[in-house]
């Protein structure tokens, strides 16, 4: 365990950030799974609503530094493409 005052503070900060980032990553995973399950069920309306809820959460995580901005863009792009493909099939 750290004994210097600055090292103790850094440990507290990293623990707090780790918890915050973990929460955001879990939220992104759950929202992505909601979109995926709606796509598998071929439910266009539910998939669109789930996508509309997932996009801001992914963008916010990227802006806060939890995930990289290009990772966020890739996730949004793939989800949007899947939802749009579902719409064109019906």
Per-residue model confidence as pLDDT tens digits over 35-75:
999 999 999 999 999 999 999 999 999 999 999 999 999 99
User: Please, what CATH class does the domain formed by 5-89 belong to?
Assistant: mainly alpha
- For Cα atoms 44, 23, 77, give the angle at the middle one, nearest 5 degrees: 40
The phi and psi torsions of 67 (rounded to 5 degrees) equal -125, 160
Q: What distance in Å separates the CA atoms of residue 41 and residue 47, rounded to the nearest whole number?
A: 9
Mean pLDDT, the chain, integer? 94
Q: Where are the domains of the chain?
A: 5-89
Residue 1 is predicted with a pLDDT of 67
Q: Is the pLDDT of residue 5 over 90?
A: yes
Average pLDDT over residues 7-26: 96
Between 1 and 34, name the one with better pLDDT: 34
- Are the C-beta atoms of 67 and 29 separated by less than 8 Å? no
pLDDT at 29 over 70: yes
Rounded Cα distance between 63 and 82, Å, is 24
Give the per-residue pLDDT at 15.
96
Residue in 26, 30, 31 with CA at minimum distance from that of residue 50: 31
Read off the pTM: 0.86
């Amino acid at each position: 365990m750290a004994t210097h005052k600055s090292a103790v503070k850094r440990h507290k900060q990293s623990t707090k950030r780790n918890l915050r980032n973990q929460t955001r990553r879990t939220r992104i995973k759950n929202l992505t799974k909601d979109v995926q399950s709606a796509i598998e069920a071929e439910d266009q309306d539910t998939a669109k609503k789930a996508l509309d809820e997932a996009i801001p959460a992914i963008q916010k995580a990227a802006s806060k530094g939890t995930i990289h901005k290009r990772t966020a863009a890739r996730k949004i792009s793939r989800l949007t493409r899947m939802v749009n493909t579902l719409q064109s099939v019906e």
